[in-house]
Structure 1
Amino acid sequence: MYRLSAEQQAFVDRVRVLAEAEIRPHAERVDEQSSFPKEALAALGRAGYLGLTIAPEHGGLGQGLRVACAVLEELAQRCASTAMVSLMHLCGIACYGTATNKTADLLRAAAKGEHLSTLAFSEPGSRSHFWSPVSQVVATNRHVRLSAEKSWVTSAGVADGYVVSSRCMSATNPTDTILYLALRGDEGIDVTGPWHGLGLRGNASAPMTLRNVAFDERRALCAPGQGLEMMLTVVLPVFLLGSAAIAVGLAEAAVAATQQHLTAKRLEHLGQSLADIPTLRARLAQMRIETDRARAHLASVIDAVEQPGPMTQLLILESKAAAAETAVAVTETGMRACGGAAFSKHLGLERLFRDARAGIVMAPTTDQLHDFIGRALCGMEPFQ
C-alpha cells in the first residue's frame, strides 16, 4: 500500500526478517522492565539501518520518507519502543543533514551504527508547545552557554547526539530560536530522572538538564532565529509521518493478534471457534478496515510530500492525528474482541493498547494538531 518499487519492497522485506529475528524476541522484556532496546538498536546498527536516510556519500542507504515509513511500521509491529527510538534518530539525522559541513563525521558514524541521535525540544515551561522553548543562550567570550531543563528526551543518556532547542540571545518572542548539537559527554549534560511510562516503556524518554553547556559556531545547526523554520520544515514532516507509520504498525499488529486468537481458540462445548461468533468477526473486520484506511491515508500524504502542493502542509499535520487515533481505536477494539485473554497479557494486545496511547499525547498532541489544522483552514497562523 506504500506503493514501493520492487527494489524498495525487497529492502523493506529484509528489514522485516531482521525485525522478526532480532527485535520481536526482546519486545516483551523491554516493556516489562522498561529497559532500553539495546539489542534491537545494535542489530539495526550492524545492518546499517541507522543510516537509513543518510546520503550514500556519507555511507548511508539514501532512502526517503516512503521507505522510512514502511520500515518504521515493520519495527512498530514488533516493538514500538524500538520504532520510536529509531524515529527520533531519523529526526536528529534530518537536522544533521542541513549542516553536513559540520556533521559529516557523525553522519558517517551513524551509517556504521556507531552514532545514535535524538531531539531535546520539550521543556517544562512550555510543555507540549515544543516550538517555544523558555531556555535562552547567553554569550561568553568564545562561546554561547545554555542552561535548560528538557522534559522528555527519547534515548536520554543513551543517544550520542542531541539536537537541542533554545531561544536566541537576541530573541524578542518565544519562537526566535536556534538549534544546537549537544554530544553525550559534553560537560554539564545529565539525565535527571527515570522513565516509567504507561506505554513505549523502553524508549528512555527521561528528563535531561543542561547546566551552562558551552556551544560554539560549529555546533549551531541553523542560523539564529531559524530554529522554528527548521523544526517545522525539516523535523516535523519526518516526525509526524514517522509517528503515523508507527501507529499503523501498532494497529496492524493488533489486527494480526486478534485474528490469530479468534481463529485458533474454541468454545469446546459448542464445537465452535471464536470466529464463529458474528460480533467478534465484525470487530475484527472493523479493525482491518480502519487500519487499511490509516495506511492508505499515510501513503497519500507521502505522495503529497514527494510532489508538494497547496495542501501538503495540512496533510502532514493530518497524518499523525489520523493514524494515532486509529491506533487507539483499533487496539481498544482488539482488547474487547479478545476479552480476558487480552486483559491478562496473554496475547501482547495489552502492550499494543498502551503503546498506542503515547501517540495521542506526544507533542504535537492530537488536540494540538486539530487546532493547527482548524487554524490553517480558517486562514490563521497555526503556530504561535
Structure 2
Amino acid sequence: MTLLLAAARAVGVEVAAKHAGDVDARARFPREAFAALKKQKLLGIMVPKSEGGPGAGIAEVVSICHALGQYCASTAMIYAMHQIQVSCVVRHADKNAWHRAFLKKLAMDQLLLASATSEAGVGGDVRSSVCAIEEKGGRFSLSKQATVISYGANADGILVTARRTPQSPASDQVIVVALKAGYSLDEQGKWDTLGMRGTCSNGYHLKAAGRMDQVIATPYADVSAQTMLPTSHLVWSALWSGIAVDAVARARAFVRAEAKKKPGVAAVGGWRLAEAASLLQLMKSNVVAALRQYEAALGSEDKLSALPFAVAMNNLKTGSSQMAVQVINHALLICGLSGYRNDSPFSVGRHLRPASANGSSRRAAT
C-alpha cells in the first residue's frame, strides 16, 4: 500500500465513515471528509512533480476511489469527479503558462474542481453546447444554463464546456478553466434524490469571465475521448466496487452473527454470500484489466481515440454499475430486514441507492 492510499484509507475510516449517514440523510456536501483530504494533500496528487505535485498516475487515483467508496459513496464520487477534471488539465494543458501556474496553485492550495458539461437545450448530449465563448481584448465571457454542476457551490474552480466562438457549430467545443473569483452561480433547482445525495448536483445559471489563456486549446472532443471518458469509467467503476465491498462486508458480518446464535447450524445465506464475493472479484478484475489497457494506450492518441478502446471503457462502466447493483442486492437478501433498516449495523440502503441510480440510468452508458 502506498503512502497516498494509506492516507486516503485513514480519511475514510476516521472521518468519511463517521459522517456518511448524515451526508446521505441531509443531502449535504461531505465537508469533513474533504477538509481531511485537503489536509492530507490528496486533491492534487495527479499534478506533475514539475508543478509541485507528487505526480501520481491513474492507478493511484483508481485505488483511492475504490478505498473511499468503502466508507462514503458521496465522498468517493466527488473525489472521482474532481480527479477527472484534474487529469484533463494535466494531460492537455501542454505548455500553456496559465494552466501550469494553475496546476501549481492547485497542488499548493488543494483546490477542488467541478465540471459544467451538461446544459439545457441539448437533450443531454454533452458533446453539444449552446453557450459560447465571447472574446474581447484577450478576455472571455460566457453564460451557461447548466442542468447539473455537482458540488458546484463547494468547488474552487469549474471546467466549463462551451462552443469555441459564437459562430461555431454546437460540436466545436473547448474547455475553460473558470476560477471561483471569476464566475457566479445562480441556483436553478434543488438536489433531493434517491442516491448520490451528498454530491449536491444542483442546476445553475453559470456566468464566467477571465483571460483567454484559461481556455484549453485542445478540442473538447479529443479531451473527452483521450482522457475524460476513460478516466471517468475507471474511477466510477472503482468506487462502485468499493461500495460493493462494504456491502459484502456487512453481509458477511451478518452471517457470522447469525452463526454465533445457532452453533452447529449451517449459516443461512452462505451460498449467496459466496456468489456475491465471486461477482465482486469479477468487478475488481475488470477494473484492473481496463486500467492496464488504458495505461498501455497512454501516449498514443490513435489508440486512445480508437473505437474499440472507447467501447472497452464504456463496457467497463456499464458492466461495473450493473454488477454493483447485483452484489448489493445479494447483500440485502442475505441481511433481510436488518439490511433494509436504516438504523441497523447491517444496513445496505445507503449502498444500494446510489448504485441503482447509476446502474439503471443513461449515466452508466455514456
| TM-score between the two structures when normalised by the length of structure 2 | 0.89
Q: Deviations over 1:245-271 (max 9, x none)?
A: 011111111111110111113595xx3
Instruction: Specify whether residues 297 and 274 from structure 1 end up closer, same or farther in structure 2 by C-alpha distance, changes over 3 A only.
Output: farther
- Quick check: 2:81–2:232 contact (8 Å CA) kept in 1? yes
Worse overlay, 193-202 or 139-148: 139-148
1:312 equivalent in structure 2:
309
TM superposition shift of 1:350: 0.5
Q: For the residues of structure 1 that align with 2:258 and 2:17, how far apart are their CA atoms?
A: 23
Question: For this pair of structures, how many residues does the alignment match?
Answer: 353
Q: Which runs of 5+ in 2 are unaligned?
A: 298-302
Q: For the residues of structure 2 that align with 1:234 and 1:138, how far apart are their CA atoms?
A: 26
One-letter identity of the residue aligned with 2:283: A
1:338 aligns with 2:322: no
- Quick check: 1:95–1:221 contact (8 Å CA) kept in 2? no
- Quick check: 1:137–1:144 contact (8 Å CA) kept in 2? yes
One-letter identity of the residue aligned with 1:155: Y
- Quick check: 2:133–2:166 contact (8 Å CA) kept in 1? no
- Residue 133 of structure 1 aligns to a residue in which SS? coil
TM superposition shift of 1:110: 2.6
1:296 aligns with 2:285: yes
Percent identical among aligned pairs is 24
Instruction: Specify whether residues 362 and 117 from structure 1 end up closer, same or farther in structure 2 by C-alpha distance, changes over 3 A only.
Output: farther
2:214 pairs, out of 219, 228, 234, with 219
TM superposition shift of 1:234: 2.0
One-letter identity of the residue aligned with 2:329: E
One-letter identity of the residue aligned with 1:44: L
2:199 pairs, out of 197, 203, 206, with 203
Q: Aligned runs of 1:111-260 on 2, under 5 Å?
A: 111-140=107-136, 142-169=138-165, 173-211=169-207, 213-223=208-218, 226-260=219-253
Q: For the residues of structure 1 that align with 2:108 and 2:278, how far apart are their CA atoms?
A: 39
Instruction: Specify whether residues 133 and 117 from structure 1 end up closer, same or farther in structure 2 by C-alpha distance, changes over 3 A only.
Output: same
2:300 equivalent in structure 1:
none
Worse overlay, 9-18 or 195-204: 9-18
Q: For the residues of structure 2 that align with 1:334 and 1:80, how far apart are their CA atoms?
A: 17
Q: Aligned runs of 1:5-154 on 2, under 5 Å?
A: 9=2, 11-97=4-90, 98-99=92-93, 101-140=97-136, 142-154=138-150
- Quick check: 1:70–1:245 contact (8 Å CA) kept in 2? yes
Instruction: Specify whether residues 139 and 359 from structure 1 end up closer, same or farther in structure 2 by C-alpha distance, changes over 3 A only.
Output: same
- Residue 190 of structure 2 aligns to a residue in which SS? coil
- Residue 182 of structure 2 aligns to a residue in which SS? coil
Q: For the residues of structure 2 that align with 1:351 and 1:113, how far apart are their CA atoms?
A: 32
CA RMSD of aligned residues (A): 2.3
- Quick check: 2:134–2:166 contact (8 Å CA) kept in 1? no
Instruction: Specify whether residues 281 and 128 from structure 1 end up closer, same or farther in structure 2 by C-alpha distance, changes over 3 A only.
Output: farther
TM superposition shift of 1:282: 1.7
Q: For the residues of structure 2 that align with 1:175 and 1:275, how far apart are their CA atoms?
A: 60
- Quick check: 1:222–1:230 contact (8 Å CA) kept in 2? no
Q: Which runs of 5+ in 1 are unaligned?
A: 1-7, 370-384
TM superposition shift of 1:137: 3.0
Q: Aligned runs of 1:318-329 on 2, under 5 Å?
A: 318-329=315-326
One-letter identity of the residue aligned with 1:252: V
TM superposition shift of 1:107: 2.0
One-letter identity of the residue aligned with 2:322: E
